[in-house]
Structure 1
Amino acid sequence: MKTAQLGSRLLAAGLLSLCFFGTAQAEKSEIVLARQFGIGYLPLTVMNHHELVQKHLQAAGLKDTKVTWSRFASGSAANDALLSGQLDFAAGGTGPAIILWDRTRSNAKVKGVGALSSMPNFLVSVDPSIKTIKDFSDGDKIAMAGAGSSVQTIYLQMAVAKEWGKENFKKLNTLMVNLPHPEGLKSMLSGAGGIKSTFTSPPFQYMALENPEAHVVLDSYDVMGGPNTFLMVWATSKFREENPKSFKAVVDAMKEATDWINANPREAAELYVQDAGGKESVEFIEKMIRDPQVKFTLTPERLLPYAQFMHDIGTIRNRPESWKDLFFPEVHDLQGS
């Protein structure tokens, strides 16, 4: 009798442990990824068009997992969606990513999945009297996406700190007007709202420079001392821990998309133009992709000094000592900085 009872209990315990094991191993049935506007997000466009996430999910035995893409106008908006559980992978400028890394160290523990691109960002103006940032007056306005937290915000603050001292890094903050890149470009070219300058990214800055009155006031590469990661992808530690196969599938898809762009710049340009609604010429976009200053890579570049500046001015509380502090281990083998 006792033997039978013991056997029943062991069987029940075994079945219970299997149930718990199965639950622990179950991954999300749907993955939601973000992307934004601009050529810097091209790897995500390739991933979407070629269904690369689905490809790697299937290889991992998750063929039924649904992949959904959401579009955002700024990294801060993507952050809100990530924290609310509406998004699994955010994408945007390094500024919003680092801010969320700092603010979630004790809970969601957000970190970078990988870089997307390194490319210069230009502060462009059609006002002939504005040649450098020293020429901006109180009445001037600068359009930029995610003003106050965006990557362009930090670039401008770094330039201001070099010019007027770190204690004055907010000197030009009052001139910022929060507008998505396409709207900022339109406003500058039309003069809407008194906006004559925009701090934007490819392809919008190159579109702006087609206007004979437009000129570059500030180049982010000059601020950073060379190529610098502009855009990246980030996620929560919770998602990575609970969905290891799905997380790896996204990383592998990012790697494949990046390699494909670098090997097929013409086809990548055609895909971008198609995705953007055919507003730009393929030749125009291909020229940007082939520009030596534009790099599609998962490797973070000059991200540590950027993040440490954010700490020094009080934008973030925690100071990273290595670029690896900001990213998950999947990319730690890269030669980042």
Structure 2
Amino acid sequence: MKNACRRTVLAALAIGAAALTGVAPAAAEVSQVRISKGFGILYLPLIVMQDQKLLEARAEKAGLGAVKVEWLTLDGGNVINDAMMTGSLDFAGIGAPGFITLWSKAKGIPSAEVVGVSGMSATSLYLNTNKPGIKSLKDITSADKIAIPGIKTSLAAVVLQMMVAKEFGRENFAKLDPMTVGLAHPDGLVALTGGKTEITCHFTSPPFQYLELKNPNIHRVANSVDYVGRITLDVTFSPKKFVDQNPKMTQAFLDALDDANALIAADKRKAAEIFVRSSKVKVDADEVLQMLEDPDTQFSATPNGVMQFADFMHLAGSIKTKPAAWSDMFIPALKTRQGS
């Protein structure tokens, strides 16, 4: 009894001391996280993470116990950013431009700030068309409509602007913006291959670009790698306040993403099979394996070339606050990596 009373007194003293010093007892980290991923090969690390329950394993190893992970599928920077701002997400995969837009907009607003948790993937984006007369970007006219997941801020939208800037001059980067139409990639595929809508072009990622090219009426107009190189296209990010309050969970997420990338590198066949059973798109493992063996398709948690986006978007006026370095936008754990 005396020992019990002593423990009670000591606990009360500890709480009182914390109150006097302004230091509160450490709060437990979350036991449930909400993560969003999108469609296509660019999200393969998150798809593998979900399928193999890698975050659950890493969280358990970090002493966080049994963590419940809720997965959502969202496409387009605007949609993802809205979900993050309303507090509906803890981690999200997104095109680098969508993340940079929100990072810049929320910078300096503690309740709204976001931070990059990792890089994720790089690949080639194809501009495909069902119109025989379109052979280059210069052949696209006001009569054409280009399907992309989100207008202005989505990955496809900004990469297309960067390509247009190379083709027509930086001052004309928005030349094709009036022709763009917001459609999720699966819907863009259906519209382009069906040929019965206003959509004459689709700027898209694997597997959709490959599936479209199986149709004899579709041909490729341009490849993004020819314009911007092999740079990180998709990243993951989180509310900064979530990261600050959940450092172990954030590290567990980064470790789980590294685990997913290691699996993809070591066993592309298994990764392809995971994608097939997780995807709603009709594609077989052999086709996905071929996509994964494309040298333009790479997966890494280390951001590469994201400053190209930041520089372009700042010059284009789509962001007001530009980071001085790529690492300014990401968690400190990435600063030791050779990013750019």
The alignment's TM-score, normalised by the length of structure 2, stands at 0.92
- Tell me the distance in 2 between the aligned counterparts of 1:312 and 1:71: 32
Deviations 1:281-313 (A, max 9, x none): 110001111111110111222211221000001
Residue of structure 1 equivalent to 2:303: 300
Gaps of 5+ in 2: 1-7
- Tell me the distance in 1 between the aligned counterparts of 2:170 and 2:198: 29
Residue of structure 2 equivalent to 1:15: 15
1:260 aligns with 2:263: yes
Residue 17 (structure 1) shift: 4.6
Residue 13 (structure 1) shift: 3.8
Residue 18 (structure 1) shift: 6.3
- Secondary structure of the structure 2 residue equivalent to 1:316: coil
- Secondary structure of the structure 2 residue equivalent to 1:131: coil
8 Å CA contact retained: 1:120, 1:228: no
Residue of structure 2 equivalent to 1:213: 217
Letter in 2 for 1:46: V
1:160 aligns with 2:142: no
Aligned match for 1:187, one of 191, 209, 216? 191
Residue 21 (structure 1) shift: 6.7
1:282-301 aligned at under 5 Å gives the runs 282-301=285-304
Deviations 1:195-231 (A, max 9, x none): 111000011011111112322212111121x211111
- Tell me the distance in 1 between the aligned counterparts of 2:151 and 2:159: 11
- Tell me the distance in 2 between the aligned counterparts of 1:307 and 1:11: 50
Using a 3 Å threshold, how does the CA distance of structure 1 residues 209 and 249 change in structure 2: closer, same or farther? Answer: same
8 Å CA contact retained: 1:24, 1:242: no
- Give the percent of matched residue pairs that are identical in Structure 1 and Structure 2: 39
Using a 3 Å threshold, how does the CA distance of structure 1 residues 45 and 9 change in structure 2: closer, same or farther? Answer: closer
8 Å CA contact retained: 1:75, 1:91: no
Residue of structure 2 equivalent to 1:34: 36
Residue 109 (structure 1) shift: 2.4
- Tell me the distance in 1 between the aligned counterparts of 2:37 and 2:165: 31
The alignment's TM-score, normalised by the length of structure 1, stands at 0.92
RMSD: 2.0
Residue 270 (structure 1) shift: 0.7
- Tell me the distance in 2 between the aligned counterparts of 1:23 and 1:189: 59
Using a 3 Å threshold, how does the CA distance of structure 1 residues 144 and 165 change in structure 2: closer, same or farther? Answer: same
- Tell me the distance in 1 between the aligned counterparts of 2:30 and 2:220: 46
- Tell me the distance in 2 between the aligned counterparts of 1:162 and 1:278: 33
- Secondary structure of the structure 2 residue equivalent to 1:115: strand
Letter in 2 for 1:47: M
1:220-299 aligned at under 5 Å gives the runs 220-224=224-228, 226-277=229-280, 279-299=282-302
Runs of 4+ in 1 over 4 A off after TM superposition: 8-11, 17-23
8 Å CA contact retained: 2:130, 2:195: no
- Tell me the distance in 2 between the aligned counterparts of 1:272 and 1:74: 20
Gaps of 5+ in 1: 1-7
Say which is worse superposed, 199-208 or 16-25, in terms of deviation: 16-25
8 Å CA contact retained: 1:115, 1:232: yes
Deviations 1:101-125 (A, max 9, x none): 1011112321211111110111111
- Tell me the distance in 2 between the aligned counterparts of 1:32 and 1:10: 38
